[in-house]
Amino acid sequence: MPAEFELIDRYFRRAVRRPGTRIGIGDDAAVIQPPSDSDLVVAVDTLVAGRHFPPGTPPKALGHKALAVNLSDLAAMGAQPAWATLALTLERADDGWLQAFASGFFELADRFGVELVGGDTTQGPLTLSVQVMGCLPRGEGLLRRGAGPGDEIWVTGTLGDAALYLKSLGSGEAIGEQIRRRLDYPEPRVDVGLALRNLATSAIDISDGLMADLGHLLAASGVGAELQVVDLPLSDSVRDYVTRSGDWAVPLSGGDDYELCFTAPASRQAEISERLAEFCAARVIGQVSARAGQRWVGPTGFVVPEQGGYQHFV
């Protein structure tokens, strides 16, 4: 069983340096130098066992997800990922677990050019905290505020897959492996965020459920929205479930999607579709209005009441 500093050296210290990394792992703090013409974008998220992931989640998936949920925040800002720090609290230092966790973390980090430059390891209940830093051209970041009446509301990928898998754990219903993968291995839409610079008027990542996160965007912009549930992008599994149960809460407020929701003028629809086609599916689900609040219309004309997403301490 490795001790703390041996653990860091064995699993997390790497010799490779990206441009701008002046001092990485091995000192009291990292020293980084962003490009002189860029803004530095910083985000941090924590995953707690039993709260953010179910027991038995593979450690490789945890390594991936701990970084992915943070990269999703950078994606929503239109930022290029660059550096990360990791605070890892472990019940015990298990070699096999650590090797798999590091594998999942660095496979995703290498895809997006992220360098791990520091962090901390402690003993206690399993908790994973990652801070990410990225760069964007000065003044070009995507923000939650900026949506205006008449803008179209877009969503990438599909919604409700992770929530459906979590729901199946309680019901005992058999769910396909692809649905579980959406929970364990969320895909951060970094390339989409980069492509939306100078196209989208506002953006947010969907972590706590579409209704809740869209609500944050609308509130920041001082606008409302008119939406149709039939326009929601759903996988076959979620569509079958909603058709059988009528439970629209799964795709609307289930959470753990890590897709992007963004707004843009209707005149840019063709350009956006063309630019995003190489990365993932994206579709319009509604329109921004001057009247505050969200108004969701169901498939038979019934009005879907607004629902909150996931919140701690509630």
Domain 152-303 fold? Phosphoribosyl-aminoimidazole Synthetase; Chain A, domain 2 (3.90.650)
Mean pLDDT of the chain: 91
AA identity, residue 147: A
pLDDT reported for residue 16? 60
| Contact predicate 217/263, CB 8 Å | yes
Query: In which band, very low, low, confident or very high, does the pLDDT at 300 lie, cut at 50, 70 and 90?
Result: low
Q: How much is the average pLDDT of 90-113?
A: 94
Inter-axis angle of helices 177-184 and 161-171, to 10 degrees? 110
pLDDT reported for residue 178? 81
Query: Where is average pLDDT lowest: 18-27, 68-77, 113-122, 284-293?
Result: 18-27
Q: Do domains 4-137 and 152-303 have the same CATH topology?
A: no
AA identity, residue 271: E
Identify the residue with better confidence: 6 or 100.
100
Q: How much is the average pLDDT of 37-41?
A: 95
Does the domain formed by 4-137 have CATH 3.40.50.9100? Answer: no
pLDDT reported for residue 314? 44
Query: In which band, very low, low, confident or very high, does the pLDDT at 15 lie, cut at 50, 70 and 90?
Result: low
What is the C-alpha separation between 158 and 161, in angstroms, rounded? 7
- Domains of the chain, by residue range, sit at 4-137, 152-303
pLDDT tens readout for residues 245-275:
989 999 999 999 999 999 999 999 999 999 9
pLDDT tops 80 at residue 84 = yes
| Contact predicate 74/131, CB 8 Å | no
pLDDT reported for residue 172? 65
What is the C-alpha separation between 312 and 314, in angstroms, rounded? 6
- Ramachandran angles phi, psi of 53, nearest 5°: -155, 145
